[in-house]
């Protein structure tokens, strides 16, 4: 492990070992301070976040875009402060920390016995939502995790999420899809963060007026197993409680090939994600390139050379 990897792993380890011991008001203020500092430094991730927000709010003035980006960094650091502290939260604190609507779409789908694929974008704190599902509803679920470097950091994330009651599979390796399909055929729940394609083989969708690529996995799992495909969106307000919405099921097209059906369903997912992101853009933590025009070689759109 090189020095950079050791430093990265050490910083995350420090977060989980130290931040979770802080009083909540102190952790909240620390997150806001770090967010404002990171925003002022204007690194690559902050610049990309601003470019992404410019698609979501195309009529934003430069002042509004800067304000939105700072709010986005504060939301992002709130996610990290909460995540570092989640392992120390009581069951009561987890239950009180999230209030979703549209929950009947999830419970009705599971009651039907064919499984549910819950797909969501990088909005607010998806780990807290998952902990709420396992704690408040008592429903276990399976998810996947991106392989991170160094390997010890990936192991930390797996242990963290497993500690919250999730079954975690590696994104790479090729066996995850089969395991997820088996869980769904058994009537289980699969939760996937699905607004950014990590495989470079995702499906093209229209997203805020431009072409992006999103993973085909959620739609393909639903098609293969008969599971219900549900979009979900999350957001923060001015309270300590995160809000959320489980949207109505994505319909399976009556005609078309499997690939054509998956494409239509993935576009419907993207549309549901766009609705939630447009309503709460500051809670969308997308600090990476997403649209195809940004993924092509050369500088991203709006980036100086």
pLDDT tens-digit readout, 15-44: 767 888 889 899 999 999 999 999 999 999
The single residue listed with the structure tokens 């009561």 is 92
CB neighbour burial string for 135-161, b if at least 16 within 10 angstroms, e if fewer: bbeeeebbbbbeebeeebbbebbbebb
Mean of the per-residue pLDDT values of the chain: 90
Instruction: Please check whether residue 135 is in contact with residue 112, taking contact to mean a CB–CB distance below 8 angstroms.
Output: no
Retrieve residue 49's tokens: 């976040």
The pLDDT assigned to 38 comes to 96
The pLDDT assigned to 305 comes to 29
Q: In the predicted model, is pLDDT for residue 115 greater than 90? A: yes
The pLDDT assigned to 148 comes to 56
Please tell me the pTM assigned to this model: 0.91
Please tell me whether residue 220 adopts helix, strand or coil conformation: helix
Cα dihedral 25/31/36/42 (nearest 10):
180
Return the half-sphere exposure (C-beta side, CA atoms, 13 A cut-off) of residue 194: 34
Instruction: Please check whether residue 221 is in contact with residue 182, taking contact to mean a CB–CB distance below 8 angstroms.
Output: no
């Amino acid at each position: 492990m090189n020095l950079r990897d050791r430093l990265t792993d050490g910083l995350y380890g420090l977060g989980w070992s130290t931040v979770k011991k802080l009083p909540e008001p102190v952790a909240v203020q620390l997150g806001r301070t770090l967010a404002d500092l990171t925003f002022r430094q204007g690194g690559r991730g902050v610049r990309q976040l601003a470019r992404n927000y410019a698609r979501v709010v195309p009529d934003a003035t430069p002042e509004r875009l800067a304000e939105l980006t700072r709010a986005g960094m504060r939301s992002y650091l709130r996610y990290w402060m909460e995540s570092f502290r989640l392992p120390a939260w009581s069951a009561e604190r987890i239950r009180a920390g999230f209030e979703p609507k549209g929950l009947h779409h999830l419970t009705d789908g599971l009651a039907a016995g064919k499984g549910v694929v819950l797909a969501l974008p990088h909005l607010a704190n998806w780990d807290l939502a998952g902990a709420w599902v396992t704690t408040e509803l008592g429903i276990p679920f399976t998810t996947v995790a991106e392989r991170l470097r160094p390997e010890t950091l990936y192991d930390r994330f797996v242990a963290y999420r497993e500690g919250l009651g999730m079954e975690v599979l590696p994104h790479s390796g090729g066996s995850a899809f089969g395991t997820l399909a088996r869980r769904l055929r058994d009537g289980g729940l699969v939760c996937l963060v699905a607004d950014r394609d990590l495989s470079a083989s995702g499906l093209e969708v229209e997203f805020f007026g431009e072409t992006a690529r999103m993973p085909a996995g959620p739609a393909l799992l639903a098609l293969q197993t008969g599971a219900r495909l549900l979009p979900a969106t999350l957001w923060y307000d001015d309270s300590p409680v995160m809000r959320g919405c489980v949207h109505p099921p994505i319909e399976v097209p009556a005609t078309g090939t499997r690939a054509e059906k998956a494409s239509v369903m993935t576009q419907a997912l993207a549309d549901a994600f766009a609705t939630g992101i447009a309503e709460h853009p500051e809670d969308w933590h997308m600090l990476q390139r997403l649209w195809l025009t940004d993924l092509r070689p050369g500088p991203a759109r709006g980036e100086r050379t």
